[in-house]
A and B are shown apart, each in its own frame.
Chain A
Amino acid sequence: MPSLASHDETNKALLPRTNAERIMAILALFDNSNNPQAVATILAHIGVGRTTGFALIRHLLKASFLERVDQGWVKLGPAAKELMFNPLGIRFQGRAFSAQGSVQDNEGVSSTIEPGEWSQDVLESVVTQAFVRKPPYKIGFSNASMSNAWRVALVCNTLYAANLHSAEIASLEVKHAEDSPQRQVQQIEELIVSGIDILLVSPAQSDDEVLAAQLRAAIEQGIAVVAVDRRPVDPKAFVSFVTASDSTIGRSSAQWLAEHLQGRGRVWMLSGPEQASPAMKRQSAALEVFARYPDIHLEAVINSHWQESAGREQVAQLLKSSQVPDGVWCDSGLQGVGSIEAFVEHRGGVPAHTGGDLNKMYKLAIHHKIPFFAADYPAAMGGRAIEIALSILAGKVVPKRLEVALNFVASRHCETVSIKADEWAERHVRWDLPDDVVLSQGPSLKIYNDKALREMLSGGDISWPLKDLVS
């Protein structure tokens, strides 16, 4: 009989305590192919005695969550199959079944959208047995900076996930490199010396060879590296990369703008910083789309910081020597809000804009009735990075690249032939929340306004857990 004696004190603390937790632990125990498991193995895994264990198994068999394969062997059953039914993070407008409503005739209308880039590594998986550690884990997060609201939301979401998995995580050290590659290398060294089990990294500069060499060395030492949002150019410098499709953001927003302008007009492009890989991927995907429209004239292609002041200054500068364009392509609302404000101050009308993320961008677009499209870059990827880190440390197979879903948001009546919105901007905006809130951070949006958390996020490096952290 398997006994609790096989678990050390640390593992004992992590054992499921309630019957509900034990049920979930049992269901999660089966592998990808639903290979049968011995009942004795299951009982050892959840750390219960025979009486409780067999009673649980018997009831799970009765409820069809498990089915018996042979004497003492079970696998997932028909009721577990029903758990496959799951919407993938797309917001519902109501859940009543509507098969007949508002059927639109799309006959004869063809989408002009092109396949675009598909990352081959999106389906590549990685075996992680070399990185298995015993919980509770020490996690380090080397964050490029807190220089804009999106990055703050990323860290907020990461802390939320750490709180959620606090039974498995002993500590989470977050160090901000203030966009300095040298500082980041130094901070990662400090994190490694402090004895972290795994490293999350969002590089200040994607093609920094010193950083890549340091990360490769960490992996060789058995410290797994999870890149989040930005990745080193060298694929050997990380185990897994949590991101969203930057090329989809660039391509869909450019396609929308080109179609909104009916293939003709003057466009200004405001991209993010050159050293950030997401900015360059979005820009390059957008340029490919615009290249297919000979009557779209790109009058300015500018790389700026993802900051309101940068967007305002650059547009104000352009307006000194040029007329108001027909459209402004921004890869994010972080600089997009500055762009809109510069046009408002100029009083010459505000052209169609792209670029989401920031609550203020939606507020401004709706208030000034600007034709608008955005694909929010999900700050919720911070939490997903924590989940991937925990999977690696438990030795599970993980994807080389995990793409978090994007939502298309457009102002009402501004959809085009190829680009339909998942949600109207008028519904997506949060008038009850501050301007600087990033809406794509998922569950952590709930705690974003917490005073203690805000102070912590604005106070430099973070050591979690903190006494004052919101529950």
Chain B
Amino acid sequence: MSIDAKEMLEKASSDPYTKAIEQVSRLLEEVVRYPHQSARSLSKACDLSPSSGYRMIKAMETQGFLTRDGAGEWVRGAQALQVGLNAWGVGTLGYASEPVLNRLRQNSQSTAFIGALQHGKLWVGPFSLGRGANYLYPQSSGGYAISRSAHEGDLSKLSLVVNNNDFEVTPVFNCLYLPIVKNNQGEWLVVGVLMNKPCVPSVSKWLLEAQQRLQDALAQDDNNE
């Protein structure tokens, strides 16, 4: 790294606005990367001192950007999810996604998700999963390239690959999905299940139900407006 570049980097990290954005981003990324039971361990993983880390985590918990799950581990909070869905133009799905996805998971015995199809990629959004290796869960936000798509009756089927520039592209898993709505940027929002095993035969029934419920939620919002 040249001296100029290093100086610029140091200057940027000393800028209070850049620093605050970086810290908020890092905390939001870390909680989906690794489970942390304590604010101290989460702060450490984000290179924050215990005291300033604690203050920031508390502030983020108060604003709903971070929360603790049932096991006491830090996860992204409802407000973070809401901001993400708002950015896709489907914020109405915020409240509906939790009961719909949990029901879809429990009935289909597969990880259920709401996602967005954009330029040959599937961006995975809120998801709901069960126990252990019989269930898949997405590793990071979006970034799954679509290698193959096909149709099975009413359902669309995708083969997804990890979109990681550091590795060879390797097929990873399949998913079944149904469209919910096209947003104002022309992207399709979908509801689906991830598969690493044959799905229960009734999966299409549960997917159709979830699609209907989510579409109803959006229609309800339109009526309110």
Whether A24 lies near B96 (C-beta < 8 A) is: no
CB closest residue in chain A, given B76: A86
For the complex, count residues of A whose C-beta is within 8 A of B.
94
Q: Interface residues, chain A, CB within 8 Å of chain B? A: 18-25, 27-28, 30-34, 55-56, 58-60, 63, 65, 76-95, 97-107, 109-111, 113, 115, 118, 122-125, 127, 164-165, 167, 245, 248, 252, 378, 380, 387, 397-399, 402-408, 420-424, 439-440, 442-443, 445-446
Whether B84 lies near A82 (C-beta < 8 A) is: yes
From known contacts A34-B89, A125-B221, A405-B99, infer whether A24 and B63 are also in contact, taking CB-CB under 8 Å.
Answer: yes
CB closest residue in chain A, given B124: A85
Per-residue 0/1 for B47-72: is the Cβ within 8 Å of any A Cβ (1 yes, 0 no)? 00000000010011111110111111
User: Which residues of A sit under 8 angstroms from B65, Cβ to Cβ?
Assistant: 24
User: Which residues of A sit under 8 angstroms from B116, Cβ to Cβ?
Assistant: 81, 84
Alpha-carbon distance between A79 and B88 when the two chains are bound, in angstroms? 11
CB closest residue in chain B, given A18: B59
Contact of B81 among A86, A109, A115, A252 (CB under 8 A): A86
Whether B68 lies near A76 (C-beta < 8 A) is: no
| Chain B positions 67-83 with a Cβ under 8 Å from a chain A Cβ | 67-73, 75-76, 78-83
User: Which residues of B sit under 8 angstroms from A405, Cβ to Cβ?
Assistant: 98-99, 102, 128
Residue B184 CB within 8 A of the other chain = yes
From known contacts A85-B125, A405-B99, infer whether A20 and B20 are also in contact, taking CB-CB under 8 Å.
Answer: yes
From known contacts A95-B34, A405-B98, infer whether A422 and B130 are also in contact, taking CB-CB under 8 Å.
Answer: yes
Q: Interface residues, chain B, CB within 8 Å of chain A? A: 15-21, 23-25, 28, 32-35, 56, 59-65, 67-73, 75-76, 78-92, 94-99, 101-103, 106-107, 109, 114, 116, 123-134, 136-142, 172-173, 184, 196-202, 209, 213, 216-217, 220-221, 224
Which has the most chain A C-beta neighbours within 10 Å: B87, B201, B209? B87
Smallest Cβ distance from A27 to chain B, in angstroms?
5
Whether B68 lies near A420 (C-beta < 8 A) is: no
User: Which residues of A sit under 8 angstroms from B138, Cβ to Cβ?
Assistant: 85
Whether B201 lies near A110 (C-beta < 8 A) is: yes
CB closest residue in chain B, given A111: B200
User: Which residues of B sit under 8 angstroms from A421, Cβ to Cβ?
Assistant: 130-131
Which has the most chain B C-beta neighbours within 10 Å: A88, A109, A398, A442? A88
Whether B69 lies near A27 (C-beta < 8 A) is: no
From known contacts A83-B87, A420-B134, infer whether A104 and B125 are also in contact, taking CB-CB under 8 Å.
Answer: no
User: Which residues of B sit under 8 angstroms from A102, Cβ to Cβ?
Assistant: 132-134
User: Which residues of B sit under 8 angstroms from A406, Cβ to Cβ?
Assistant: 102
Which has the most chain A C-beta neighbours within 10 Å: B19, B90, B97, B98? B98
Alpha-carbon distance between A403 and B80 when the two chains are bound, in angstroms? 19
From known contacts A84-B141, A86-B84, A100-B196, infer whether A122 and B63 are also in contact, taking CB-CB under 8 Å.
Answer: no
Smallest Cβ distance from A35 to chain B, in angstroms?
9
Whether B133 lies near A34 (C-beta < 8 A) is: no
User: Which residues of A sit under 8 angstroms from B123, Cβ to Cβ?
Assistant: 81-82, 84-85
Contact of B128 among A23, A55, A85, A87 (CB under 8 A): A87
From known contacts A88-B101, A442-B70, infer whether A33 and B63 are also in contact, taking CB-CB under 8 Å.
Answer: no
User: Which residues of B sit under 8 angstroms from A56, Cβ to Cβ?
Assistant: 17
Whether B83 lies near A83 (C-beta < 8 A) is: yes
Alpha-carbon distance between A33 and B59 when the two chains are bound, in angstroms? 26
Whether A91 lies near B132 (C-beta < 8 A) is: no
Alpha-carbon distance between A94 and B73 when the two chains are bound, in angstroms? 12
From known contacts A89-B69, A97-B139, infer whether A80 and B24 are also in contact, taking CB-CB under 8 Å.
Answer: no
Alpha-carbon distance between A443 and B198 when the two chains are bound, in angstroms? 36
User: Which residues of B sit under 8 angstroms from A83, Cβ to Cβ?
Assistant: 28, 76, 80-81, 83-84, 87, 141
Pairs A–B under 8 Å by Cβ, sample size 18: A32-B92, A80-B86, A83-B141, A84-B141, A87-B69, A87-B126, A88-B127, A88-B128, A93-B132, A94-B35, A104-B197, A106-B200, A109-B200, A110-B200, A115-B209, A123-B217, A380-B70, A405-B102
Smallest Cβ distance from B182 to chain A, in angstroms?
13
Smallest Cβ distance from A29 to chain B, in angstroms?
9
From known contacts A24-B65, A95-B34, infer whether A88 and B97 are also in contact, taking CB-CB under 8 Å.
Answer: yes
Whether A397 lies near B221 (C-beta < 8 A) is: yes
Whether A387 lies near B78 (C-beta < 8 A) is: yes
Alpha-carbon distance between A421 and B106 when the two chains are bound, in angstroms? 9
User: Which residues of A sit under 8 angstroms from B84, Cβ to Cβ?
Assistant: 80-86
Smallest Cβ distance from A30 to chain B, in angstroms?
5
User: Which residues of A sit under 8 angstroms from B136, Cβ to Cβ?
Assistant: 98-99
Contact of A101 among B72, B81, B133 (CB under 8 A): B133
Smallest Cβ distance from A43 to chain B, in angstroms?
14
Whether A387 lies near B64 (C-beta < 8 A) is: yes
Contact of A25 among B28, B63, B72 (CB under 8 A): B63
Whether A164 lies near B62 (C-beta < 8 A) is: yes
Q: A32-B89, A103-B196 given. 10 additional CB < 8 A pairs?
A: A24-B65, A56-B17, A58-B17, A88-B98, A92-B137, A95-B137, A164-B62, A420-B130, A422-B131, A446-B72
CB closest residue in chain A, given B32: A85
From known contacts A102-B132, A111-B107, A446-B68, infer whether A85 and B17 are also in contact, taking CB-CB under 8 Å.
Answer: no
Alpha-carbon distance between A445 and B60 when the two chains are bound, in angstroms? 19
Whether B63 lies near A28 (C-beta < 8 A) is: yes
From known contacts A99-B173, A124-B220, A442-B70, infer whether A88 and B17 are also in contact, taking CB-CB under 8 Å.
Answer: no
User: Which residues of A sit under 8 angstroms from B134, Cβ to Cβ?
Assistant: 102-104, 420
Whether A81 lies near B88 (C-beta < 8 A) is: yes
Smallest Cβ distance from A239 to chain B, in angstroms?
14
Whether A443 lies near B59 (C-beta < 8 A) is: no
Alpha-carbon distance between A109 and B200 when the two chains are bound, in angstroms? 7
Whether A111 lies near B202 (C-beta < 8 A) is: yes
Whether B132 lies near A21 (C-beta < 8 A) is: no
Whether A397 lies near B224 (C-beta < 8 A) is: yes
Alpha-carbon distance between A34 and B52 when the two chains are bound, in angstroms? 32
Smallest Cβ distance from B159 to chain A, in angstroms?
12
Whether A20 lies near B24 (C-beta < 8 A) is: yes
Smallest Cβ distance from B223 to chain A, in angstroms?
9
User: Which residues of A sit under 8 angstroms from B172, Cβ to Cβ?
Assistant: 99
Whether B125 lies near A84 (C-beta < 8 A) is: yes
The 4 closest A-B pairs by CB, nearest first: A84-B84, A32-B91, A83-B84, A101-B133
